[in-house]
Amino acid sequence: MAKRVLIVDDAAFMRMMIKDILSKNGYEIAGEAENGQKAVELYKELKPDLVTMDITMPEKDGIAAVKEIKQLDSSARIIMCSAMGQQMMVMEAIQAGARDFIVKPFQQERVIQAMEKASK
């Protein structure tokens, strides 16, 4: 069965890139959010198998959203998306409960590898 993914990024272009990679590789897009607040609301509503979460976003950043989602569902599978040079934030996100991270610009092989790793 296809894994359902919630894509969270404040940039529509980045959401489109991830959506394209995942769709081509058999993933189903459960929904999209442009900030951490909406991500938490959609997580509750959609109950996706996986979440790709941008770190820096308006309203609520990715780290705060990860913490909130993990409180709702300790088994949530979240992959952080970061720009180069955000190592400290990535470490914080992993400590908050993220399973893996991918770096922008996205490379298809790395995205799928992170998805498969987080699915286990």
What residue spans define the domains of the chain?
Answer: 4-119
**Dihedral, CA of residue 57, residue 51, residue 66 and residue 97, to nearest 10:** -140
pLDDT in tens, 69-103: 999 999 999 999 988 777 888 899 999 999 999 99
Note the Cα 43 to chain centre separation in Å. 11
pLDDT in tens, 5-20: 999 999 999 999 999 9
Contact predicate 119/98, CB 8 Å: no
Q: How many angstroms separate the CA atoms of 118 and 49, rounded? A: 10
Name the architecture of domain 4-119. Answer: 3-Layer(aba) Sandwich (3.40)
Q: pTM for this structure?
A: 0.94
